Structure 1
Amino acid sequence: MRGASGVRTSHKKERSGYGSMFRCLKDPSVLITLSCLTCKARHVKCDESKPVCFRCQKLGVLCGGYRTKKEWYPPSSSTSAKVLLPRTQYLSQPLTSLFDTTDEQRYFALFSEKIVAELLPYFDPNPWRYMILQACAAEPSIRHAATAIGALGKTFESAQSGRGRRPGVIHHRAPALGGPTDAAQRVKGRISRKEQIEEAVLHHQYALQQYHKAIKQMQNIASGNTIRTALITCIIIACFENLHGNQDSASTQLQSGIALLQEWKKSERDATKYPMGFSSPAPDEIEDYLVQFFGRVEIQSMSFRDARPAECHLQLQEEGKEVIQQMPALLTSINQARVYLDLITRRMMHFTAAMNYFQASYAQYLHASATSVAGPWIDSKLYPNVTKILQHPPSNDPYFSGQQDLNSEMSSWFMAFTPLLNRSIEAGGQDCISALTLSIVATTVSISLRAAFIKAEEEYSLFESDFNSIVNQAELLLKTLELRTPKTKPTLAFSFDLGVIPPLYLTSVKCRVLEIRKKALELLTKYPRREGLWDSVTTAALGRWVIEMEEEASDEGFVPEQSTVRKPCIAVDWLERKATMTCLKMDKETGRFMGRRKEITW
């Protein structure tokens, strides 16, 4: 057979993600591929139709056409991972012609080279980076949104460099979302604080311009978007809204994406075999990674605010149960452990949300004896033997049996994961960070499950060792993460994934040991960051307020049940730079729970 240049090539095809590929006999380093550029970049098989391939038309992406000259690819490319994503080095070349101005290219370069990977610090960011950058290359609206995020990164960096404090004013400090410029560096460059602030304003204005351009283009082409493009659009918009402080808008975007994906799954064959967050029923349209990503997005959304009716949670609480039952006895990789933990976590959150639907029936137990209680909402003030009842629940109660099933799943996961955790901690680096994150999250899920039926705050003393484990592992994780982050590297201190903030917050408000609670607050404050819809500094302010109110009536560290705080909550207005904290606490005279409120500013 003759190649494009007349060089004789072998007739044996190479197996690769690029489609038909031949190796030159004269020079084995020369490969001639017949697949289109888009399929080659995405590592999928190309049908080699001319002038554009049918696969690209089906997915609604721009076909890059075919190259005629010979190219060399490293041998590893023939065994690339099964992912519908491009390599970033391939993406960097054509992107130079996709920008209208040098400023646009400069801000996007910051996003693509630094920020996109920093958005997922707890796990391997490469699949995420490939997915987002490939979407940026194919869809201008997503590219403009990414450019806007890059401009926000410069905004935070400049604002932190020029931010000052008014003397004599106590601030509840907001998280440092940009790496501060060293003071000596600022003096050397003769840049004043005022100039830094003015520069931040210019970066912010450009970010808003790019974001509005992205929204306008999304509206113009919405009808022609593929489901995959629409899902990635939800992600990138939610990311910008989160960084900009519009958490409600970000939550709405994420929930829209969840609903869109669930509707798409219903239309696919055997959809029940592919639970949310595990795998895709049609990987040619939406890859497994994107389905798994939205499984974690749903967990995050439920942890913040979930407006879906209880009937929805009742339908979804069994999703993934059959897959979890087939979990291997030993988990061999971080991603494998993560996927199974996500399935269990989603089941737990749907289970507890569905339980709340029936909490009104708790009233029927108020005048019943402890032995006749048929449901889970037990108050230890009414039933002193509550711990004994919880340890030996009625076997015929559906709520308790549901809890036991989930506890069994968590126990199996811990047994399968522990050897991997030990190896990863010993190895250090990214593996250590990822494994510790999974362990902390799993311990938090386990506490939430076992405490599902507890009504008295003092019963959380049963989980002292678990809370202590969360604090110790979080400290090791954050120190390891800090060592891996260069001091001079700009960072947003923002993660799209949940990591340490919800576990440390739970510890600060529920743990009954003051020393452990204060250690959790110290970590939230010392390592300021934002994770999805959660913010560490405002969360620490809420935890500190809860501790202060409970310490008012503490006796040598012991807080009586009637002095504990219930339902602490915080509403943050990032644009106005203020937050309102609320909670319930029992009034000593009336014996009723009364609302408490406090506002903070920064």
Structure 2
Amino acid sequence: MEYQYFDRFYSRTSVQIFPSFDFGLTRQILLQACETNAAIRHCVIAIGALDKTATTQHRGRVSFDSPDWSANASNHHRIAMKQYAKAVGIMNASASTSQFNLRDTLLTSILVLCFEAWNGNISLAVQQIHTCVKLILQWKSSRGSISNPGSSPQPNVVESELLLIFDCLAIQVTFFSSGDSAATSRGLHLLGSAGRICFGSLPDSFTDLKEAEIYGQEILRQGILFLMQHNSPEKYANASRNVISPEILAEQAIITTHALRWRHNFEKLKKNSAPKFVTRYTKALELFMASNYTATATCLSNDETVHDFYTDIYIQVVDLAGEILNELTNDFSSSDLQASKYSFDNRYILPVLMAGLGCRNLSLRKRAIDLLLMYPRREGIWDSECAAKMVLWISGLECNHSENGYIPGWARAAGLVWTTDLETRTADLRCCQRITPLSDPVEKQTTISW
């Protein structure tokens, strides 16, 4: 029985949950580690059993920690919990006796946070990310700076692909931490510590997918850093372009210009490649680059109508997300299984959320909400139901003032922020909105749960 779950993890679960850029390396690292590390081996078995739980008779469920579920848990889930308990016991027993090994610690932590986040204990999963980000920063600082993005200062100690996973997770943590928190500061520091490719070296065309991915990941990283540092609803609420720092505007222009160049180069690469080149991975990369471009281009504006200029790109984002999810579902349509509902990296939840919030085309907004609800998933610590309820709330506020299906600029909600209690899976949402064309904005707030 243990072998069946182990084989499931290696041949199926890990293929779906690890980031698209990984190309199977982390799976191989984990397989090798299982031979010498019992805790990692039991974690792998536990996650394989959890995947079996999630993809058989319980198709709509993302979490498995509620009281009603615990009373009727399947045998697969009971085995998952038993194997996980064994792994934790081994970790605790060896903590005081074993010499510290960063690679094994990160591998174990990846599996722990995967199990906890998938099972429903988001709060503990976030703690794991915080701990690992801190460890990675300490390790990097002891070995000097890094010249290439996403690279490891000592690949023989910790592989670059392993560090890139935590780059993805650090991005997510910053969205769920207050802007001035130590966790946010460390997350931004980790993203900044990865180094930077000189944008001037972006070629006029890409030779292959790997080159496109390298430049794409760097543009994404710099765009996300820019968003986290400057996307403050209060900071630019009443600012015009001539009072925003020229340095900030220049940085925004550099990132958006190169994002557009990347998109142009990628289109050329697709046209010059075999039909099989267009895969879920290439679509996911396009999806994120499009979303990153619109987010960076609009984040300094105090006028919500700026999003109307990017409607075509928002449509592309939702179209690509729908294609990816349909293909993922069709891959399993001939069996009694489903695609895994968990992955480490952002895949479609965050881009669809941003499209749903930014685009005021009512039919597109409905499609975005439907995608988030029809395909329940958890990506890192992002939950599709949480994202759907955020868009639903904003949509409800704005539709109260729609004029023949159009949301006028004065009625658009702005400055959405949230504070999240991941233990109870609730979030307090706040935004500002005018009640009439001439009134001052008033604060709106609500609480959602998922």
1:323-366 CA distance string (max 9 Å, x none): 44434433233333223222222222222322358965x58x67
| Counterparts of residues 113-512 of structure 1 (less than 5 Å) | 113-120=11-18, 122=20, 125-157=23-55, 160=58, 175=61, 200-222=73-95, 223-268=98-143, 271-275=145-149, 277=150, 279-305=151-177, 307-308=181-182, 313=188, 317=192, 320-355=195-230, 360=235, 373-375=242-244, 397-422=246-271, 426-427=275-276, 431-488=278-335, 489-512=337-360
Aligned CA-pair RMSD: 3.4
Instruction: Give 1:299 deviation, angstroms.
Output: 2.9
Is residue 408 of structure 2 the alignment partner of residue 560 of structure 1?
A: yes
Is residue 8 of structure 2 the alignment partner of residue 110 of structure 1?
A: yes
SS of the equivalent of 1:475 reads helix
Instruction: Give 1:563 deviation, angstroms.
Output: 2.6
Distance 2:420 2:124 in 1: 13
Distance 2:23 2:383 in 1: 21
Instruction: Give 1:424 deviation, angstroms.
Output: 6.1
| Counterparts of residues 37-52 of structure 1 (less than 5 Å) | none
Contact between 2:123 and 2:422, CA under 8 Å: does it hold in 1?
Answer: no
294 and 579 in structure 1: CA distance in 2 versus 1, 3 angstrom threshold? closer
Contact between 1:299 and 1:345, CA under 8 Å: does it hold in 2?
Answer: no
115 and 322 in structure 1: CA distance in 2 versus 1, 3 angstrom threshold? closer
Distance 1:574 1:425 in 2: 44
Instruction: Give 1:228 deviation, angstroms.
Output: 1.0
Distance 2:109 2:293 in 1: 31
Instruction: Give 1:569 deviation, angstroms.
Output: 5.9
Instruction: Give 1:585 deviation, angstroms.
Output: 4.2
124 and 291 in structure 1: CA distance in 2 versus 1, 3 angstrom threshold? closer
SS of the equivalent of 2:158 reads coil
Instruction: Give 1:462 deviation, angstroms.
Output: 1.5
399 and 600 in structure 1: CA distance in 2 versus 1, 3 angstrom threshold? closer
326 and 542 in structure 1: CA distance in 2 versus 1, 3 angstrom threshold? same
2:170 counterpart letter in structure 1: E
Distance 2:3 2:183 in 1: 44
526 and 211 in structure 1: CA distance in 2 versus 1, 3 angstrom threshold? same
SS of the equivalent of 1:519 reads helix
Instruction: Give 1:600 deviation, angstroms.
Output: 5.3
Instruction: Give 1:432 deviation, angstroms.
Output: 1.7
Instruction: Give 1:466 deviation, angstroms.
Output: 1.0
Percent identity between matched residues is 26
- Match 2:393 to one of 542, 545, 550: 545
Residue ranges of structure 1 left out of the alignment (5+ in a row) = 1-102, 162-173, 179-193, 377-396
Instruction: Give 1:113 deviation, angstroms.
Output: 3.4
1:260-318 CA distance string (max 9 Å, x none): 2222222225x33133x2x2222211223223333333333334446447876489658
Contact between 1:344 and 1:406, CA under 8 Å: does it hold in 2?
Answer: yes
SS of the equivalent of 2:318 reads helix
Instruction: Give 1:106 deviation, angstroms.
Output: 4.0
1:500 counterpart letter in structure 2: Y
1:345 counterpart letter in structure 2: L
425 and 448 in structure 1: CA distance in 2 versus 1, 3 angstrom threshold? farther
2:94 counterpart letter in structure 1: I
Is residue 436 of structure 2 the alignment partner of residue 596 of structure 1?
A: no
Query: Normalized against structure 1, the TM-score is what?
Result: 0.65
Give the number of the structure whose residues are more often helix, by fraction.
2
Distance 1:114 1:311 in 2: 36
Count how many residue pairs are aligned between Structure 1 and Structure 2.
439
Distance 2:23 2:87 in 1: 24
Instruction: Give 1:436 deviation, angstroms.
Output: 0.8
Distance 1:598 1:268 in 2: 45
SS of the equivalent of 2:445 reads strand
596 and 525 in structure 1: CA distance in 2 versus 1, 3 angstrom threshold? same
Distance 2:423 2:141 in 1: 39
Distance 1:575 1:320 in 2: 34
Contact between 1:424 and 1:432, CA under 8 Å: does it hold in 2?
Answer: no
Residue ranges of structure 2 left out of the alignment (5+ in a row) = none
Distance 2:385 2:311 in 1: 24
SS of the equivalent of 1:200 reads coil
SS of the equivalent of 2:155 reads coil
Instruction: Give 1:105 deviation, angstroms.
Output: 3.7
Q: Which has the larger radius of gyration?
A: 1
Distance 1:319 1:211 in 2: 32
- Structure number with higher relative contact order (C-alpha < 8 Å, ≥ 6 residues apart): 2
Distance 2:351 2:136 in 1: 28
Distance 2:288 2:71 in 1: 41
Instruction: Give 1:536 deviation, angstroms.
Output: 2.0
1:470 counterpart letter in structure 2: V
Distance 2:31 2:140 in 1: 25
2:440 counterpart letter in structure 1: G
Contact between 1:501 and 1:531, CA under 8 Å: does it hold in 2?
Answer: yes
2:37 counterpart letter in structure 1: E
Contact between 1:457 and 1:561, CA under 8 Å: does it hold in 2?
Answer: yes
177 and 480 in structure 1: CA distance in 2 versus 1, 3 angstrom threshold? farther
Distance 2:63 2:276 in 1: 30
SS of the equivalent of 1:596 reads strand
Contact between 1:153 and 1:492, CA under 8 Å: does it hold in 2?
Answer: yes
2:400 counterpart letter in structure 1: E
Distance 1:258 1:424 in 2: 38
Instruction: Give 1:583 deviation, angstroms.
Output: 3.1
Query: Normalized against structure 2, the TM-score is what?
Result: 0.84
Distance 1:130 1:407 in 2: 36
1:145-185 CA distance string (max 9 Å, x none): 22221232233346517xxxxxxxxxxxx65689xxxxxxx
160 and 234 in structure 1: CA distance in 2 versus 1, 3 angstrom threshold? same
Contact between 1:302 and 1:349, CA under 8 Å: does it hold in 2?
Answer: no
Distance 1:228 1:356 in 2: 34
Distance 2:159 2:349 in 1: 29
256 and 418 in structure 1: CA distance in 2 versus 1, 3 angstrom threshold? farther
295 and 471 in structure 1: CA distance in 2 versus 1, 3 angstrom threshold? same
